[in-house]
Every structure is written in C-alpha cells, then in structure tokens.
C-alpha cells in the first residue's frame, strides 16, 4: 500500500514537471519571435528614407506601420501576461501536487504504523495464551462436527414442527371448508324447500280459485235450471188452469155461444193469438181439432152478447182479426 502511493505521487510530479517545462519553452519561443524584425520592415525603412520626395504617397503607409507596431506591442504584452499566468498556474499545480504527495505519505505512514501495532498486539496475545488452552485440531474438528450435528438436529426439529403446524392448519382449514359446504348445502335445501312451499301455495291458491269458479258456474247453472223449471211448471199450471176453466164452462151446459177468432196450425201459434186476446181482457179457450187448434173467446150468455164481442174484435185494429164469427160450441165429450 505504501509503495503504491509513493509510485503514484512520483508519476504525478513527473507529469507536472513535463507540463511546466513545455509551457515555459513555448513562452520563450513566442517572446523570441516577437523580438525578431518583420519581413516588411526593410520596405518600410526604404519608404521612410524616400519620404522627402514622396510625402503624399507615404502618408497612408506611415499610419499603417504605426498601427501595426501598436498591435504588435499589444500582442507582446498579452503573451507576456499569458506566460506569467501560466507560470503561476504551474507553480500552484506543483504546490498542490506536493501537498497531495505529503498527505499520501502521511496516510501511508499512519496505516503502516497501525498495521505494525495490530501485528504486535496479535503476537503478544498469542504469546500470552497457555499451551494447555490451545485446542487440538482433532478436538476442534470433533467439536465442529458435533455443532454441525446439533444444528442439523435443530433444523430437523424445526422442520418437523413446521410440518406439524402446516398439517394442523390444513386440518383446520379442511374442517372449516367442510363446515362451510355443509352450511351451504343446508342453506340451499332451506331455500329449495321455501321455493317448493311457495310454489305449492301458489298451486293450491290456483286450484282453490278454479274450484270457486267451477262452483260459481255450477251454482249459476243450477239457478238457471231451477228458474227454467219453475217457469215451465208455472206455464204448465197456467195451461192446466185454462183447460180446467174451459172444461168447467163446457161441463155447465151442452151449448155455449163462442166467438171463434182463428184456427192455428200448431200450439205455438195458438198461444201467441191467445196471449194477444188475453192482453185485451178477453177470456180465451183453445180446442184441438183435426184441422188445427181452435181459438175462441167466451162463452157468452146468449148469441147477442157473443155477436157484440165478435164485432168488437173485428173492429179492433191492434188485434187484426177481421174474420171472427159466432158459433154455438159444444165440447166433444158432450156431443
């Protein structure tokens, strides 16, 4: 370490010296060149010697020479100033290099002293250790093997413990997973049961509504049937009453004066004509014959009454029965 630093310091000093010498030589050459006469000076001297005869022509040349001299003087002063600055920088560089070399030498000396002190201390420490405390190489190897074995055993125990912990964690995780799956299945079953119950309730409600509709329809049909039956029975009773009345009239005498108003082809037409007459307040009697059903008004107590009824019927435009006539009618069973 110390020799290396010294070599580096020497190389730096040598490089600085070479650079300084080059700068000094360059400055001297520039000064020497500035002091040498210019090639144009003889021409200018000749021109100055002939100034008396050619004053007018040499005046501009004299001005150029003076200007050139002034410029050369300024250049010389600039070069001298540059050389002085370069010399100052070189001196500063040498001073810096010397300081760096001195600092490097000081550090090398300190490091060398520290190394010697450490070496001396280690030597003294080893010299102070009793021989019986120096560990035998075989015993040391055995101790290292035992330490390695103990470390290996410790690592195996840690590995076994880690595996046991991992297995326990896996078991707990599996149990938690199974429990979660069971809870999910229970929740799914509960949801399915709820949906089934809701579906059954909807189906029962629909069936109840259908049954109610059917019951209402059946009830309406029964009511209609009962009403129709009642109407039919009422009509039958009415017809029977009329027949009984006619029979009563016929049974009270062998001959009765009647006004025959029409001869219907069937029972329906006969009922229609009878209804019109009854609406006018006439007593109507129907009697079946071989040619149709005879519709008659009466009986009257005599022919005159029957004829008056005939005229009234014939002249009633609402009845439109102009062919009525008076007959002395005897029931068939009394003939």
What are the pLDDT digits (tens) for 29-77? Answer: 655 555 454 444 443 443 444 443 444 444 444 447 788 788 888 888 8
Span 221-250, average pLDDT:
83
Confidence band for 28, pLDDT divided at 50, 70 and 90: low
Instruction: Establish if 90 belongs to a structural domain.
Output: yes
- 195 within a domain of the structure (yes/no): no
Q: Pick from 126, 149, 180: which residue ends a domain? A: 126
Cβ neighbours for 109, distance < 8 A, ≥ 6 positions apart? 2
Residue pLDDT, tens place only, 148-205: 888 889 889 988 888 898 889 889 998 998 999 988 988 888 888 989 999 999 999 9
Of 101, 126, 151, the residue at which a domain comes to its end is: 126
Q: Is residue 120 part of a domain?
A: yes
CATH assignment of the domain containing 313 = 3.30.70.1070
pLDDT tens per residue, range 276-285: 999 989 999 8
> Mean pLDDT of all residues in the chain?
78
Answer yes or no: is 219 within a domain.
no
| Residue 97: inside a domain | yes
pLDDT digits (tens, 9 = 90+) for 72-91: 888 888 888 888 888 888 77
Whether the predicted pLDDT of 98 surpasses 50? yes
| % of the chain with per-residue pLDDT over 70 | 75
Lowest mean pLDDT among 111-125, 197-211, 250-264, 282-296: 111-125
pLDDT score, position 128 = 53
From 105, 126, 147, give the residue that closes a domain: 126
Q: What is the dihedral of CA 164, 165, 167, 170, to 10 degrees?
A: 180
User: How far apart, in Å, are the Cα atoms of 232 and each of 224, 229, 238, 276?
Assistant: 12, 5, 10, 20
| Strand pairing category for 325-329 and 256-264 | antiparallel
- Distances from the Cα of 185 to the Cαs of 127, 188, 247, in angstroms? 82, 5, 90
Q: What is the pLDDT of residues 123-143, one digit of tens each?
A: 555 555 555 445 567 787 888
**What is the pTM (predicted TM-score) of this model?**
0.27
Comparing C-alpha atoms, which of 299, 287, 288, 286 is closest to residue 249? 299
279 within domain boundaries:
yes
Q: Is 112 a member of any domain?
A: yes
Number of domains in the chain: 2
DSSP helix, strand, coil percent of the chain (3-state; round to 5): 80, 10, 15
* Residue 197 within a domain: no
Domain that holds residue 68: 2-126
* Cβ pair 34, 72 in contact under 8 A: yes
Residues 6+ apart with CB under 8 A from 17: 94
β pairing state of 325-329 and 284-288: unpaired
């Amino acid at each position: 370490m110390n020799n290396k630093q010294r070599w580096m310091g020497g190389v730096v000093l040598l490089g600085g010296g070479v650079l300084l010498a080059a700068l000094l030589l360059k400055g001297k050459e520039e000064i020497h060149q500035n002091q040498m006469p210019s090639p144009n000076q003889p021409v200018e001297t000749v021109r100055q010697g002939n100034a008396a005869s050619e004053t007018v022509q040499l005046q501009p040349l004299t001005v150029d020479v003076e200007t050139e001299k002034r410029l050369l003087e300024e250049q010389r002063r600039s070069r001298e100033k540059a050389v002085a600055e370069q010399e100052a920088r070189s001196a500063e560089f040498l001073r810096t290099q010397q300081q760096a070399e001195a600092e490097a030498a000081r550090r090398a000396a300190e490091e060398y002293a520290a190394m010697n002190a450490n070496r001396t201390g280690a030597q003294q420490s080893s010299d102070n250790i009793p021989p019986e405390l120096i560990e035998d190489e075989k015993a040391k190897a055995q101790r290292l093997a035992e330490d390695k074995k103990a470390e290996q055993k410790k690592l195996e125990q840690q590995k076994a413990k880690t595996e046991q912990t991992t297995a326990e964690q896996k078991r707990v995780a599996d149990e938690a997973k199974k429990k979660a799956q069971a809870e999910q299945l229970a929740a799914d079953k509960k949801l399915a049961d709820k949906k089934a119950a809701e579906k059954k309730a909807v189906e029962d409600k629909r069936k109840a509504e259908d049954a109610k509709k059917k019951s209402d329809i059946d009830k309406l049909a029964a009511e209609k049937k009962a009403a129709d039956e009642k109407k039919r029975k009422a009509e039958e009773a009415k017809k029977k009453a009329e027949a009984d009345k006619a029979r009563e009239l016929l049974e009270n005498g062998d001959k009765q004066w009647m006004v025959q108003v029409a001869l219907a082809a069937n029972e329906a037409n006969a009922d229609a004509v009878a209804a019109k007459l009854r609406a006018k307040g006439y007593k109507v009697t129907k009697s079946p014959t071989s040619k149709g059903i005879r519709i008659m008004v009466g009986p009257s107590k005599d022919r005159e009454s029957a004829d008056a009824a005939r005229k009234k019927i014939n002249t009633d435009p609402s009845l439109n029965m102009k062919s009525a006539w008076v007959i002395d009618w005897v029931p068939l069973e009394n003939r």
